Structure 1
Amino acid sequence: MPQKFSFAGQFVNPDLEWALLAAIISDPPKYWETLDSLPPGVLTVGQAAYEIIAAAVEAEKPIPPIDTLNTVSPTPDPSLAARELANLYQKRLLAQMIQPFTEKLRGEIKADELIAQTEVELTRIQTAIREMRSGQAMSVADLLPEVLKEMASRQQAVMETGTVAVGLPTGISRLDKMIGGLQTGLHILAAEPGEGKTSLALQIAAKVAAQAPALFVSFEESLTRLCLKSVCQQANLEMKRFFDGNGDLAQLNTAIKEYGSRLKAFYLIEGSSRLTVPQLKAKALQILARHKTNQCLVIIDYLQKWASSRREFSEFRHIVGALVAELRDVANRLNSPILVISSQNRGGQGSSFMTSLKESGDLEYAADSILFLVKSKRPANPPARAVDLHVSKNRFGDTGIIPLIFRPTIGIFREEAKF
């Protein structure tokens, strides 16, 4: 008996599937970069092998030999291959609808009934494609038990820690009380040059790393400098002395032994023009899997420097806007906060106006919270100086001003009453 023609069968590419799997085996971190493009159904011949690979990568174990892939050459661009396979999957869904439709055209069914059936099926396919792109759609009724569970978990966390931060804690108690800690979403930190943006971000990252992974992406400073700055913050050592060659190495060695283990969940990435948002997301997913947790903090230092390396639009504000939108999507995908350091435009430096954010339009609307470090006229004992942390936008509650003291020689901020 002749086999029945399958229209959907025209939209498969087994060779590309095997080449993609071979690429992941040769470079396991590519698994994380392609993860979102490969939900169940995308692979037609390689799903079983993919599940073996996934189990090994997520457990951080060696990938066992897969005989089928012994002679397969890896694809040079796994991300492109994954997107192409996802596109074929979407076409298969459409083909599965079109073939029965064309067969029914030859039958006795009335045209209006066939159109109605087609509309229902097309809606189902559109839903499947949308869910593939954005995650599974669920009704509010189905989500309510999960909401109750999450609220109970937050309440339990507050009871256990004695803090009011339901998000990841910043270590600044008044800020945690005001914004509820760094919750899932996009958070902006801005100030004029030299006001301590990087120092505050490092301080927050080290605090978070005590309970969840923190990933700091720097387009400004070298990783060794950031590492030294973080250790000096923890040990109250003056970083400049070590860079000038005048520091006490015995003190530094003691600090590294004492505080190094506390920073095991604190990761640094040196940003470059080659770094993409999908690669950043892949790194974060890999770190989450390594620590067997479901939330982390990502810090970008700084936004405009990263955006300047991108060329997808002619106008810089559009480039910044696209980058902000991508980062917000990643925050939601990771269920984690992303703290983005931003520069201020020349006319707004030193202020706490949201319009002072360089290329401010998209930042102002996309951010869940916007923080500014602003010089204060309050007295302080030099070299310490008074600084106000302005919470100018807060999607989670009130706005306000938090008085801080900044000790630039050590690089730490403290609430004024705590000095």
Structure 2
Amino acid sequence: MNSFQLVDEFKDIETERGVIAAIATRPDLYWELLDFLPAEAFIAESLAWQNLAQAIETEKPVAASVTGLTEWKPAADPKAAAQHLADLYQRRLLAGLQENLAAALYGSRPAPELLGLLDEEVARVQSAVRETHAGKLQWAGDLIGNVLAEAENRQLQRQETGNAISGVATGLKRVDELLNGLGTGLYILAGAPGAGKTTLSLQIAQHAASTGTPVVYVTYENSPSNLVLKALCARAKIPASQVERGFGNTQALRWAALELQPIFDKLAIIEGNSKLTVGQVRGKALQAQARHKAGRCLVVFDYLQRAAHTAGYDQLRYNVSAMAGELRDLANRLNGPVLAISSQNRSGGDYGKGGGSATLDSLKESGDLEYSADAVMFLRMSEKRQIPPPARAVDIVLAKNRFGDVGMVPLVFRPDLGDLREEAVR
């Protein structure tokens, strides 16, 4: 196989030493330049940088922390030198991308697979670059311009489209009015078993895809094929149980498949397992955004408690708390919404009775999710409305909403058809 070595061309040992020497001379520069200097910016003198950083952060003598420091000449313009090192780091990332792609070009993989590899490599580089901005000190005064520009853009968008919803629309009008769609943040959808959580999540995913937003649906409960079958049956208005027993109208399913094909092209499904990490999902989401040239992506986790077993703690509660924090970070990194299905504790979920509480403390055994989430929604059987079976009267209760008011929206659930719709306003 052909070998390509481009990464090593983008390093500058003298500048690395110059920046380290300048900071050692004036330790206060460390805090000023830290935003420009990810640890990966130092490739030749990485150990010296680590020792210097540790000495400054622990307020220990700097001179003794770096071997050979007295022989290094401080950079004349430390800020410009630091920015140069950061630029070289990003170029090394791009060079690594080019190396991997060039090596693959001379391999046996088909060209379509190489395009997929390119998407993955670009997503990896974008993710790495974004990580360098995490934790950066941002002064409120410096953000004013961007905030005002975003407000003006939203106003212009509303005037041009007539649509006042700026987030990813769920397809449920009154829910969107309460939430302003799904914006950047973590959204929790909770309920008892059989309440319709997967049905609603799959509907939201399809609606988002139909409006041009790519979706990455991570499933731990249903297989990817089963989710596709559910979607086809819902569109064809055929019970999935009939199809599984061989009594389904296959012609109706084919028509449904033709209608849903443009939507399915923007809906990617990942079968979750114990080895899947949030970082890997982030990479796949960035890949989906790059493929569809989209500014945001909806990520769905079905469901949170199963995904949380990978967090590494002995108790599920702590795993879920850690996972919720990772998902919120994921939303911020992607600048888009993450929708996570959650179970409730047995008393709150009213297991076996068909009811269910819509109070935040019913999530207590699920790791204090009410603190991590930007919005919490519950699906529960309606206590007042009566609907002839097989339909069920279901309410979606918005119990927490950082973006606006809380409230309740009445729905009609057809579990046999896998369909949840808003009740018609009388």
Checking the alignment, whether the CA contact within 8 Å between 2:318 and 2:367 is kept in structure 1 is no
Matched, 1:177 2:177: yes
Residue of structure 2 equivalent to 1:375 = 381
Cα distance change, pair 366–50 in 1 and its aligned pair in 2 (3 A): closer
Aligned CA distance change for structure 1 residues 199 and 334 (closer, same or farther; 3 Å): same
Is 2:361 aligned against 1:355?
A: yes
* AA of the residue aligned to 2:401: N
- 2:339 aligned with 1:339: yes
2:143 aligned partner, one-letter code:
L
Paired position in structure 2 for 1:395: 402
Offset from partner CA, 1:180-201 (integer Å, 9 cap, x none): 1111000000010001000000
Q: Which residue of 1 aligns with 2:102?
A: 64
C-alpha change, 1:249 and 1:4, in structure 2 (3 Å) is closer
Q: CA deviation at 1:4?
A: 12
Contact 1:191 1:372 in 2 (8 A): yes
| 1:364 aligned onto 2:370 | yes
Q: Aligned residue for 2:329?
A: 329
Q: 1:131 to 1:357 in 2, by over 3 A?
A: closer
Partner letter of residue 237 of structure 1? I
The residue aligned with 1:35 is: none
| Equivalent residue, structure 1, for 2:59 | none
Aligned residue number for residue 203 of structure 2 = 203
CA distance in 1 between partners of 2:164 and 2:236 (Å): 26
SS at match of 1:359: helix
Aligned residues of 1:213 and 1:296 also touching (Cα < 8 A) = yes
* Aligned-residue offset at 1:386: 0.5
Letter in structure 1 aligned against 2:251: A
Equivalents in 2 of 1:286, 1:304: separation in Å? 26
Cα separation, 2, equivalents of 1:274 and 1:47: 29
Is contact 1:324–1:362 with CA below 8 Å preserved after alignment? no
Counterpart Cα distance in 2 of 1:233 and 1:207: 13
Q: Which residue identity does 2:369 align to in structure 1?
A: L
Q: Is the 8 A contact 1:231 1:260 kept in 2?
A: no
Structure 1 segment 9-408 matched on structure 2, within 5 A: 12=43, 41=85, 48=91, 50-54=93-97, 63-64=101-102, 132=132, 134=134, 136-210=136-210, 211-311=212-312, 313-349=313-349, 350-357=356-363, 359-376=365-382, 377-408=384-415
**Which ranges in structure 1 are unaligned for 5 or more consecutive residues?**
15-38, 67-81, 87-129
Alpha carbons of structure 1 residues 142 and 131: separation in structure 2 relative to 1, 3 Å = farther
Q: Distance in 2 between matches of 1:5 and 1:352?
A: 56
SS in 2 for 1:417: coil
SS in 1 for 2:357: coil
The C-alpha deviation readout for 1:129-155, integer Å capped at 9, x for no partner, is: x98361644332332221122122223
Equivalent position amino acid for 1:12 in 2: I
**Counterpart-to-counterpart distance in 1, 2:87 and 2:376:** 42
Contact 1:343 1:358 in 2 (8 A): no
Provide the TM-score with structure 1 as the length reference.
0.71
Over residues 44-99 of structure 1, what are the superposed CA-to-partner deviations in whole Å (9 max), with x where a residue is unaligned?
A: 6x864632454x69xxxx92369xxxxxxxxxxxxxxx9xxx9xxxxxxxxxxxxx
Q: Which residue is equivalent to 1:117?
A: none
- Supply the distance in 2 between the matched residues of 1:316 and 1:153 (Cα, whole angstroms): 43
Change (3 A) 1:133 1:150: closer
- CA distance 1:276–1:131, shift in 2 (3 Å): closer
Q: How far apart are the structure 2 equivalents of 1:297 and 1:47? A: 27
Please give the alpha-carbon distance, in whole angstroms, between the structure 2 residues aligned to 1:372 and 1:258.
30
Separation in structure 1 between the aligned mates of residue 298 and residue 205 of structure 2, nearest angstrom: 7
Contact 2:236/2:252 (8 A) holds in 1: no
Deviation of the 1:412 alpha carbon: 1.4
Asked if structure 2 preserves the Cα contact closer than 8 Å seen for 1:164 and 1:176, the reply is: no
Q: CA deviation at 1:237?
A: 3.0
% identity of equivalent residues: 44
Change (3 A) 1:43 1:273: farther
Give the match for residue 99 of structure 1.
none
Note the residue ranges of structure 2 that are not aligned, 5 or more in a row.
1-13, 22-41, 46-82, 105-123, 350-355
Q: Distance in 2 between matches of 1:383 and 1:143?
A: 53
The residue type paired with residue 43 of structure 2 is: V
Deviations 1:223-266 (A, max 9, x none): 10001112222333322221121101111112111221222111
Instruction: Using the TM superposition, give the Cα deviation of residue 407 of structure 1 relative to its aligned residue in structure 2, in angstroms.
Output: 1.1
Aligned-pair RMSD on alpha carbons? 3.4
Measure, in 2, the Cα distance between the counterparts of 1:304 and 1:252: 33
The answer to whether the 8 Å contact 1:203/1:233 transfers is: no
CA distance in 1 between partners of 2:15 and 2:249 (Å): 80
Stretch moving more, 190-199 or 316-325: 316-325
Q: TM-score, normalised by structure 2?
A: 0.70
Asked whether 1:416 is paired with 2:423, we answer yes
Assess if the C-alpha contact under 8 Å between 1:355 and 1:361 holds in 2. no
**Which portions of structure 1, spanning 4 or more consecutive aligned residues, are displaced by more than 6 angstroms?**
none
Secondary structure at 2:424's aligned position in 1?
helix
Query: What number of residue pairs does the alignment pair up?
Result: 329
Contact 2:16 2:85 in 1 (8 A): no
